Amino acid sequence: MEEHFRERPSSVRITSESREVLRNPEQVFDSDLERAQRESEKVLDELIRAGRMERRLPGVEFIVEREGAVAAPSIQIICPKSEAQATQLCLSPLVTSRGPEAGILGYIGTYGIGKRKNNSWVPVAARTYPLEHIFAAPVGVHFVVMPTVDRWAVGRDVLSLPSGNSYELYMGLGFLLLGERWMHIGMHEAGHLPDVDDENEAWHLANTRYAGLHKGSHGIVIHDNSFGLFDLLTRPDSKFSTHPTIGQIEQYGLTSHFVGGNAWLPRIWRKKADTTIRRFEGIIAEAQRAYGHVLRG
């Protein structure tokens, strides 16, 4: 049964793992892989128990459904742009076998334009692309998506795909439930590949690749005829908005790692570090609440 959420009440159970991320906000960007894996296992269990469901939060639709006899659920996160068109993240399960005993190894992801058809959202094939393409990953890289609440990370995958260039990409569903602009964190994770450890370099690569996708679009962006990939080429609603600009996402990422001693920060951002972290902690909490409303009640 479809449910609609007009508001996000604060009375949602926050786990000890979520509190740990609030204490260490750098764990949103490039989480400890072992902790990300533990959180992903819990999320997968919750998705399986949820069965089929549709939820609506402000600006986002979240759909979980099982495909035929496969116990593993597929996931869709949809951001409607009109009654007929939306952007659509689709995660299809990668399973060990068929039937109720099937185990989930992870997900294969696509992102693009969806159109309304018979009260459902259907991807437009010509405008839907693998996440490897969307995140501008190095040529030959394959992603196995591992959903989490609020941890993003990338690490070598040794089990799911036969390709020797396969990586587990941990994606925080809570952030995606706040809006598609947070998809840009995935481009940052791809910026770490194949072997980039430096946070500043990874963000530079991510933003350079993002800019490269919009060459020739300057005019239509200026005239508000295009908002770019993930709707990031727009002005922020306010300085406290959970709809960030591309620069604010980078600022949250670098500031959190600067506080943790693992990034260089420009002087102007350094002066605002405490304020930035407090603001980002509020967004992390909002992401946790959004996930809690959808999957924990």
Largest CA distance in the chain: 56
Packing angle of the helix pair 16-23, 273-291 (nearest 10 deg): 160
Q: Is the pLDDT of residue 234 over 60?
A: yes
Overall domain count for the chain: 1
Tell me the per-residue pLDDT of 9-53, one tens digit each, with 9 for 90 and over: 444 456 677 789 999 999 999 999 999 999 999 999 898 888 788
Q: Is the pLDDT of residue 254 over 70?
A: yes
Q: Which residues pair with 104 in a beta bridge?
A: 95
Mean pLDDT value across residues 92-112: 79
DSSP type of residue 102 = P
Q: Is the pLDDT of residue 262 over 80?
A: yes
**Taking the alpha carbons of 184, 137, 264, 267 in that order, is the dihedral positive or negative?**
negative
- Residue 178 region by backbone torsions, left for phi larger than 0, else alpha for psi between -120 and 50, else beta: alpha
Pairing of strands 166-172, 142-148: parallel
User: How many CB atoms lie under 10 A from the CB of residue 81?
Assistant: 14
Position 1 scores a pLDDT of: 34
Tell me the per-residue pLDDT of 110-145, one tens digit each, with 9 for 90 and over: 999 999 998 889 999 999 999 999 999 999 999 999
Cβ burial of 4 (10 Å; 0-12, 13-18, 19+) is exposed
Range of the domain at 220: 2-296
